[in-house]
Amino acid sequence: MEVIQAISAISNISTPTILLVAAIFARISALVMFLPGLGEQAVPVRPRLAVAMAITLILTPLVISSATPPETNSAAVMMMVAEIISGAILGFSIRIAIFTLQTAGSIASQSLSLAQLFGSNIDASLSSPIGTLLMFVGIVLAVMAGLHFETVRVLVLSFEIMPLGVFPGASETGSWAVERVAFSFAASLSLAMPFVVLGFIYNLAIGAANRAMPQLMVAFVGVPAVTLAGMMLLALTAPVLLGVWLDMLNDIVRTLLGEMS
């Protein structure tokens, strides 16, 4: 009897209400696609879908009361597109931290002559060994630090500055994206700076040795030496590097919360 009552209650939901719930789900699912941990291609689709639906059930009562349902089919389509774009913007703003860590690993590998060693990454793309290692550990730290709970707070506040069905401003979004990308590359170089300095010292020493002994194949001696020194440097600096990166990720989330509050 309770099941029949539940089914009848669902059947009585109006079409505009269903469209509003679908629009909320579109924003949340677009964000989950970019979210560190859940957004990786290695994670099956069903867990990601379950998380998106669960967050939708939580946020729908908070959002749907102040939302205006679309009146036409074209308005409904535009609402879905606007919500997907809004969710992608929010997800990219958090995902940029993972891109930063991956780029820092690539710069470090290039400095240690390991950039030619590529392997499968957590997102099924080719990546340098140091980048893959840092990315794995960074995602684990982000999940352990409660990133996903903070993301729900960002979602709740996002509906206040980006109302349901409203497209974000093109000029504001463009300038914001450029700033985020510039910040990502600057932060990547800062995180990889110890390895860049080591690579510079290595190339300087190789050049001096080659000028002193042209007949000696210094690369056969120098490459294993710089690789060993790089691995030792990675073991020493990885805890500090990942700690700085986690603080940067928390600053990104706090900035989002501050801009939306």
Global confidence as pTM: 0.80
Q: What is the domain range of residue 209?
A: 2-260
The answer to whether 108 and 130 have CB atoms below 8 angstroms apart is yes
3-state secondary structure of 217: coil
List Cα–Cα distances, 167 to 68, 70, 84, 113, 121, in angstroms. 15, 14, 10, 45, 34
Give the number of other CB atoms < 10 A from CB of residue 33: 19
The answer to whether 154 and 260 have CB atoms below 8 angstroms apart is yes
- The type of residue at 19 is L
14 vs 58: which has the higher pLDDT: 58
The string of pLDDT tens digits covering residues 120-156 is 555 555 567 788 888 888 888 888 888 888 888 888 8
Q: Confidence band (pLDDT; 50, 70, 90) for 1?
A: very low
**Domain total of the chain:** 1
Nearest Cα residue to 187 out of 137, 247, 232, 145: 247
The string of pLDDT tens digits covering residues 11-20 is 455 677 778 8
Whole-number Å distance between alpha carbons of 188 and 107: 8
State the chain's mean pLDDT as an integer: 80
Give the number of other CB atoms < 10 A from CB of residue 77: 11
Tokens describing residue 235: 């073991």
What is the DSSP pairing of strand 126-127 with strand 119-120? antiparallel
